[in-house]
Amino acid sequence: MTFWQRIEANRRRTVWLFVAFYLLTALMAWAVHVVVEYWLVTAGLLALAVGTGVAAFVADSALVLRWVGARNATDEEVQMLSNVVDEMAIAAQIPRPNLYVLDDEAPNAFATGTPGKGTVVVTSGLLAKLNRDELAGVVAHEIAHIGNHDTRVMTVAFVLLWAISLLSDIAYRWKAMESRYPQERRRSKDKDKGKEESLKLIVAILAIILAPIAAKLLTYAVSRRREYLADAEAARLTRNPRALASALRKIALDDDPVDTASLATSHLFIVSPLRPGTGFLASRWFSTHPPTEERIKLLENM
Amino acid sequence: MVLLVAIGILILAAVVSITITNGMSRKKLQAENAYSQIDVQLRRKLSLIPNLVEAVKGYVKHEHDVLVQVAQARAAVLGARGPADAARANHMLTGSLSTLFGMVQEQYPQLKADQQFKGLQEELVSTENRVTYARQAYNDAVTVYNIAVVTFPGSLFAGPKFPRMELFDVPEETRQQADNLQIQM
């Protein structure tokens, strides 16, 4: 497949993932309603969940830079890097993003923001270990994230994940409280209706238990999809997918982990900065990034 | 009833054709905007050239014709009309600049390790890249627009308002001519 087709395919897949995500949120709202039985309470809870999610993550993304300890890059220090960022911004037709350097031996990079307000952060290890073409590939990948509004895409995914988890938690507690005081339960007057009601209740409780896990899987899937998309876009911008492939190989093979990375920021980096864990939770379904080998293979065939 | 259906079809046709022509206008504007980016980058390149030439002039006293070539090519870019013409002139300029730098490097190999010369070379590479990437963005935008103009349904509305646009590209014979001038940097 050419990078044009890959870009299209990844965009389409993201749309479907979000359709699934919204359906899941709707299912969750329904389940909460079945348990809670007051529309107003359900609506209030939904608003609360989404509202706090938005507030938390808007505040959060502004803090990311200070959090990881990046500093503004000086021009003499990074003449080549600064030039490469200019060039890629021209190729992507977006305003030049801010450039920060993170003093860390591990080669890695990440980006936040949207066109016009974007920031690219590169570790000093990346500068030392990559050549110009590889650097251009990495910067193109980061600028593609900015051009695709990926910070916003991921924020929406995280807000939905947050909302679903919060609703699940509240509904679960509500149910637990209710079963302690069973006499307060309304309805279920005749027997047939009671049967139907209890079936509904079982489905709702299953949804309440399983939806947060499904939401988490969806969030990871969106994140992986946006990584593939940024890779394909980087190929479009540089017309040199092999350089990015070779950069990814260098980054993945490097031994130094990023000191300042945490689970909350790992989805931002070009290659996941966390050391892979073991067991089920380390499988690709629970990863913010696709396997690097897979990305390299796709890039080399573009 | 028939009248209502007829009116409905007319309104639908109007909405569809407005949507299509709007889409084509947007693509045309995007391509034109991308062209102005090439213009910005070309101007940046032209304004840098006197400094670049000044920096290496001391090394090429006996090679005046390459300096003349650079100056001529620079003037040609300034006077270029239209994308194809500008592309040709820019290609000549790039060729003469790399001839100049290649010549200097050949005669003074020790410059390869010189920090200042390295910085100068990085600026030259980046300047060329900027033009190349601006050109790539323009050519992509023009291709998207041209496809919209020549394929159905856009082809129905093509005409003087939506002419096919020219790529910023160098014809083969000019390219060979310029490549013959170049010395590998």
- What ipTM was assigned to the predicted interfaces of this complex? 0.84
Sheet holding A71-72, edge to edge: A71-72, A98-102, A119-123, A109-112
Amino acid sitting at position B180: N
Count contacts between A and B (CB, < 8 Å).
35
pLDDT tens profile B109-154: 888 788 888 888 888 899 999 999 999 999 999 999 999 999 988 8
What are residue A119's DSSP bridge partners? A98, A112
Q: Looking at A142, A196, A233, A293, which residue is catalytic?
A: A142
A270 SS3 class: coil
Residue A279, pLDDT > 70, answer no
Alpha carbon A169 to its chain centroid, in Å, reads 22
DSSP label of B152: T
Residues of A whose CB is below 8 A from B126 = 80, 83-84, 86-87
Establish if B107 touches chain A: CB-CB under 8 angstroms.
Answer: no
Compute the nearest-CA separation of B127 from chain A (Å).
9
| A76 → chain B, closest CA residue | B119
Q: Select the residue of B33, B119, B130 nearest A87 (Cβ to Cβ).
A: B130
Give me the helices (H) in chain B, please: 2-57, 64-78, 82-107, 115-150, 172-181
Cα–Cα separations (whole angstroms), residue B7 to B11, B15, B18, B153: 6, 12, 16, 22
Please check whether residue B70 touches A, CB under 8 A: no
Shortest distance between the Cα of B16 and any Cα of chain A, in A, equals: 24
Of A80, A84, A90, the CB nearest to B37: A90
* Helix H or strand E segment including A161: helix A150-180
Confidence of residue B182 (pLDDT cuts 50, 70, 90): very low
Q: Which residue has the higher pLDDT, B46 or B63?
A: B46
User: With an 8 Å Cβ cutoff, is B36 touching chain A?
Assistant: no
Task: Say if strands A71-72 and A109-112 run parallel, antiparallel, or are unpaired.
Answer: unpaired
A138's enclosing H/E stretch is helix A132-147
Torsion of CA A57, A59, A64, A69, to 10 degrees: -160
Helix (H, G, I), strand (E, B) or coil at B65: helix
Phi, psi at B82, each rounded to 5° = 85, 160
Distances in whole angstroms, Cα of residue A262 to Cα of each of A6, A101, B132: 30, 18, 38
Nearest to A87 among B33, B119, B126 (CB): B126
pLDDT per residue as tens digits for the range A39-71:
787 788 878 877 776 776 665 555 566 656 667
Contacts of A86 in chain B (CB under 8 A): 126, 130
Distance from CA of A16 to the nearest CA of B (A): 25
Q: Would you call A87 a catalytic residue per the annotation?
A: no
- pTM, 2 dp: 0.85
